[in-house]
Amino acid sequence: MAVFYKYAIVKWFNSLDNVLYRFILAILTPTLALVPTTICRHMALWRTSEIIEPERSFALVYFIRASFITLYRIMQANFKNIWLFVGLSLLSGVSSLLKTATVGIREKVWARVIRFLNRTCCTRLHHLPGYTAHHRRLKADTEIQNIRFENYSLILSQSYIILYTITNFHLSDWSVVKSSLTRIAIGLVIEFVFNFLSTFIRIHWYNIPITRVWSKYWKRHVLANGIVVAVLICYFTKPLLAVFQDRFHHSGAENYTIRNCTLPYENWR
């Protein structure tokens, strides 16, 4: 997946000179996770009881989505215009809210599609019930992971750009940190509002036991989230940093002075 990031999505993103085209590509990036996430969720609901406990199956479902969310946040952090940053945060929140509000409609549409496929070609394709205990538990687990990781990925993306900027260029450290802290604050506020609305709908409309699962298994979710973040940092840092490298070294190289890291060692020669 890291190779796919670097040589497909990131390369395409960096090749676009128009900011609007980059904005559109950033918006479309999370949709790439829809099909693999759906397949993994179907497998988790259908077969994971033979491999792993249902209470832990969310880890198999969420990792793919987490990697695409991270890439989305990195692309978002790469925009210099604060309004484009805010726009991507709002679009992320609105899409999440709409996805939550239309669960029932999408379940009915998917059931009809499967019935049609059963009559035509795919007789072995099954529609799993959407409101079983296992399904609601998986929904609760993935929603908890989604809330936590949206916030983590926002902070992680800004941490990347802070570290990359202050370690490679002669810039005021405080100005870089201040800009990123402002973006983090704005992003977290937007995420809080939309996560609150989505969680309210899931708990009171669809009877998803998010509060009960979190209160009982919060340590498991913190550990799983930490493992996902650690894996992403270890294996995806290089392709993700390629987004920033193109911005600083090509798009605006004349505005930045590269830091000379050899000065402390000149007397060793």
Residue 142 lies in a domain: yes
Tell me which of 92 and 2 has the higher pLDDT.
92
Residue 255 lies in a domain: no
Residue 144 lies in a domain: yes
Question: How confident is residue 269, by pLDDT bands cut at 50, 70 and 90?
Answer: very low
Residue 114 lies in a domain: no
Residue 117 lies in a domain: no
Both structure tokens of 118: 């059963």
The domain of 87 spans 1-31+58-101+130-250
Residues 6+ apart with CB under 8 A from 88: 23, 26, 27, 72, 75, 76, 79
Question: How confident is residue 253, by pLDDT bands cut at 50, 70 and 90?
Answer: very low
Residue 107 lies in a domain: no
**112-139 confidence digits (pLDDT tens):** 887 887 777 777 666 666 677 778 888 8
Residue 118 lies in a domain: no
Give the residue ranges of DSSP H helices in 8-132. Answer: 10-15, 19-28, 34-46, 58-78, 82-101, 103-120
| pLDDT given for residue 87 in this prediction | 94
Tell me which of 218 and 111 has the higher pLDDT.
218
Both structure tokens of 173: 């450290």
| pLDDT given for residue 113 in this prediction | 80
User: Which of 56-60, 73-77, 205-209, 210-214 bottoms out in mean pLDDT, i.e. has the lowest?
Assistant: 56-60
Q: How many domains does the chain have?
A: 1
**167-210 confidence digits (pLDDT tens):** 877 777 888 899 999 999 999 999 999 999 999 999 988 888 99
Question: How confident is residue 265, by pLDDT bands cut at 50, 70 and 90?
Answer: very low
Q: What is the mean pLDDT of the chain?
A: 81
| pLDDT given for residue 51 in this prediction | 58
| pLDDT given for residue 194 in this prediction | 94
Tell me which of 258 and 32 has the higher pLDDT.
32
Rounded Cα gap, residues 259 and 267, in angstroms = 18
Question: How confident is residue 266, by pLDDT bands cut at 50, 70 and 90?
Answer: very low
Residue 260 lies in a domain: no
pTM reported for the whole predicted model: 0.83
